[in-house]
Structure 1
Amino acid sequence: MTPTRRALATTLALTAALAATSATAQAADTPQHPWYLDTMRVEEIWEHTKGEGITVAVIDSGVDSTLPELEGRVLEGIDITASPQGAHVDSDGHGTDMAALIAGNGTGQGIQGIAPESEILPIRVTTGGMTADISGRWSEAVEFAAESGAQIISISQGSVHDEVMRRDMEEALTIAAQHGVIIFAASGNDGEGANTLSAPASLDGIIGVGAIGRDGDRISYSTYGPQVALASPGQDVPSYCGDLAGPACIREGGGTSAATALAAGSAALIWSQNPEWTKNQVLRVMLNTAERSDDQRRDDFTGYGIVRPDRVIVDGEGDPGDPDSPPIFRDWEAGLVPPATPEPTPETTPDDSAEPAPGPEAEAAATSDDSSPLPWILGGTAAVLFVAVTGWLLFRRRAA
């Protein structure tokens, strides 16, 4: 081949390569194929699971269930705003964006979510912006989600951390832990400002999520600190940049709100593939397969690392470990009050030939991370002792 022909061949090869790269980049910048689908190898994940069987509660501004990409994926939910209109009303659009990042199927010009066969439980607590009683609403929302069967809760909202917030949320977080629910919350977008500690991400029992960009580094405005446990993509994510009636677009920002939704969607994928796992096991594999720096230590910017569900689902990495041992918040969960057990009914004659059917409290105790058979053992022992002592007294009376 002559030098001229070699040069021409090289030029053509480079042109073809650049064209292919450009086409790939363009495809990766659409709401139907955002860049992180490639980073997380989501299409390979979908060969194993798409999130089926998992319900994610989205605590936000409501979810518009009429969008084509969310059709059939949105449950009834609840509206606990001051002037309720229904959980499927979303005048702000934020909650719908978050739901679509999780469960959207990309139909038409809509948003492609990472767990398109999961279900969304919408809980409307705001109509756009925080309110004075937001911690009370979040508490009610978390409790409703846990008792409605959601396995995962996503809260892409935040407010100033204070004692009132902690106290208002305490009981709801206890209920969620006892129901085996994972809660993700946005760490905040104040990293370039005062970097104020944000709740509910800063509360015990909640996984605070930071945001990373295309380069894998923390986005500069992502709030950092001890509340950050994991990070996920928050830059150039799909959104409805106008109103929900128009097509979706790629928003330059996105922040920790989007990162939280994607972390929740990642958990849904992992749990869907491993439905027998507890929340502790799902969290453990998320933490020990997260992408992090070479020193493998936690830091205040991305926590234990960047969420990588593909490493769990495609590569089979991650040891789920003990189902009853929390990977984080051990001391907090150890101090939780276990679910109450029912008092025995004196009028009921026990049937020794069969075990009694468990009531709701017993079922809660059986599925709780903090459940223990000890109360039932002690209760049974007390009943046996009562019958034995009563029989002995009757025998003494008759013998006398």
Structure 2
Amino acid sequence: MQSAQVWRVATGDGITVAVVDTGVDSTVSELRGKVLPGHDFYEGRGRGRTDGDDTERHGTNMALAIAGRVDERGVTGIAPGARILPIRVGDKHNFGIARPAAEGIRYAVDNGAKVINISMAGTARPTDRPAWQAAVDYALRKGAIVFAGAGNDGSGVPQYPAAIPGVVAVGALGRDGTRAGFSNHGDHLALAAPGVDMPGRCTADKAEYCAFDGTSHATAIASASAALIWSAHPEWTGNQVLRVMLQTAGHVGPVPSRFIGYGSVRPAQVLLEGKGDPGDPDLHPLLDARASTPPAPATAAPAKPLAEQPPDRFPLRTAALTAVATAGGLLVLLLFLRHRHPKERP
């Protein structure tokens, strides 16, 4: 990710990222002064800031991975200059309900969010899908990018809202740069990012840090990467930001892949190397039938010949992924599904 070098070019300054989640505790040291009031669409208690009351810590950890800033100890996010708009749409018992989340998406774009992070996934009733789709369509008309986690049960069963057309579905990678076994797959996958053994704030001891696995934080890393690129190119549209992300994603093998989409997010390719053609500002690179397939990015040689890899494993540049897994600027939390809780490892 080359975060230290990238931050000399862009930090996400001027970009608001909406965290559609369990709320965000703005009192944690890394987020002080970075969290807007937001809104609570779950219980209607007012603000999306759940100061001292985000018991699951899920939304807080997503905000940390996106925009946390560390003075001495803690979590530094990928885009430490970005602002967080917290939108509460559930808690540890009810998460991923279509109606409050759809309301939250509309609120986000109406209140200045360019990037919308939805680190949640689940099955959706047929009656829920129109609400999801209408909200996503509204966000796209307003020029935003919507990222959502692919899901954590390792299956090819579509999870929502990631499977809604127009949403950028994000899968998780392990330390070795291949698809994490728990990461859901399907034709709707667009991008991937690290999602194994990544630290965040513990649930039980709010002062300590734990390791988590899941597509939640992979989604947060993708959202933060978009914020970095957009802050360096404020004249671009969301379609253009997404297009260069797809073009510069790291992969080995044909793309798009059912397991990692166009590959692992690599904002440094855009910000340090100047790669990627933003193209038509009005064409959505994943949706519009007139848009050409994003060109395959240049890739490093695989650690092993592709034929030696299992069908669902695509090695990326090892050094880059090692930096991703170990750098203080990247932290990935387990995607909170309605029937699955993260395993905390102090």
Normalising TM by the smaller chain, what interval? Answer: 0.7 to 0.9
Deviates more, 1:85-94 or 1:180-189: 85-94
Matched with 1:86 is 47
Which whole-Å deviations, capped at 9, do the CAs of 1:49-86 have from their partners, x for residues lacking one? 11100000000000000011101110010011136263
Matched with 1:287 is 246
Report if the CA contact (8 A) 1:76-1:121 is conserved: yes
Report if the CA contact (8 A) 2:39-2:46 is conserved: no
**CA drift at 1:242:** 3.6
**CA 1:242/1:92 → structure 2, altered by over 3 Å: closer, same or farther?**
closer
TM-score, normalised with respect to structure 1: 0.69
**CA drift at 1:328:** 1.1
Richer in helix (by share):
1
Matched with 1:232 is 193
Cα separation, 1, equivalents of 2:290 and 2:232: 28
**CA drift at 1:104:** 0.2
**Which segments of 5 or more consecutive residues in structure 1 lack a partner in the other structure?**
1-39, 334-400
| Among 240, 257, 267, the residue aligned to 1:309 | 267
Whether 1:267 and 2:226 are equivalent positions in the alignment is: yes
Report if the CA contact (8 A) 1:42-1:114 is conserved: yes
Cα separation, 2, equivalents of 1:231 and 1:118: 21
Matched with 2:214 is 255
Matched with 1:27 is none
Which whole-Å deviations, capped at 9, do the CAs of 1:99-157 have from their partners, x for residues lacking one? 000000123432110100100000011121335x8100111000000111100000001
Cα separation, 1, equivalents of 2:203 and 2:135: 35
Report if the CA contact (8 A) 1:109-1:248 is conserved: no
* One-letter identity of the residue aligned with 1:165: D
**Structure 1 SS opposite 2:128:** helix
* One-letter identity of the residue aligned with 2:270: V
Cα separation, 2, equivalents of 1:79 and 1:245: 22
**Which segments of 5 or more consecutive residues in structure 2 lack a partner in the other structure?**
292-346
**CA drift at 1:214:** 1.6
* One-letter identity of the residue aligned with 1:213: G
Report if the CA contact (8 A) 2:157-2:186 is conserved: no
Matched with 1:391 is none
Which whole-Å deviations, capped at 9, do the CAs of 1:228-280 have from their partners, x for residues lacking one? 1100010121211244631224x1x3210010000000000000000000011
| Among 70, 78, 84, the residue aligned to 1:120 | 84
Matched with 1:198 is 159
* One-letter identity of the residue aligned with 1:44: Q
Work out which of the two has the higher radius of gyration on C-alpha atoms and give 1 or 2: 1
Report if the CA contact (8 A) 1:165-1:199 is conserved: no
Matches within 5 A, 1:358-369: none
Matched with 2:299 is none
Report if the CA contact (8 A) 1:56-1:118 is conserved: yes
Whether 1:41 and 2:2 are equivalent positions in the alignment is: yes
Cα separation, 1, equivalents of 2:180 and 2:240: 29
* One-letter identity of the residue aligned with 2:192: A
| Among 269, 282, 285, the residue aligned to 1:324 | 282
**CA 1:217/1:207 → structure 2, altered by over 3 Å: closer, same or farther?**
same
**Structure 1 SS opposite 2:242:** helix
Matches within 5 A, 1:163-182: 163-182=126-145
* One-letter identity of the residue aligned with 1:276: E
**CA 1:330/1:267 → structure 2, altered by over 3 Å: closer, same or farther?**
same
Cα separation, 2, equivalents of 1:167 and 1:49: 37
* One-letter identity of the residue aligned with 2:49: H
**Structure 2 SS opposite 1:112:** coil
**CA drift at 1:196:** 2.5
How many corresponding residue pairs? 288
Which whole-Å deviations, capped at 9, do the CAs of 1:164-209 have from their partners, x for residues lacking one? 2211123212210110000000000010xx5421000000110000
Matched with 2:119 is 156
Matched with 1:246 is 207
| Among 63, 73, 96, the residue aligned to 1:109 | 73
* One-letter identity of the residue aligned with 1:211: A
Which whole-Å deviations, capped at 9, do the CAs of 1:304-324 have from their partners, x for residues lacking one? 111000100011111111111
**CA drift at 1:332:** 11
Whether 1:297 and 2:255 are equivalent positions in the alignment is: yes
Cα separation, 1, equivalents of 2:86 and 2:125: 26
**CA 1:329/1:129 → structure 2, altered by over 3 Å: closer, same or farther?**
farther
Cα separation, 1, equivalents of 2:46 and 2:137: 29
Cα separation, 1, equivalents of 2:35 and 2:8: 23
Report if the CA contact (8 A) 2:55-2:203 is conserved: no
Cα separation, 2, equivalents of 1:130 and 1:118: 28
Matched with 1:350 is none
* One-letter identity of the residue aligned with 1:327: P
TM-score, normalised with respect to structure 2: 0.80
Which whole-Å deviations, capped at 9, do the CAs of 1:339-375 have from their partners, x for residues lacking one? xxxxxxxxxxxxxxxxxxxxxxxxxxxxxxxxxxxxx
Higher relative CO (Cα under 8 Å, sequence separation at least 6) belongs to: 2
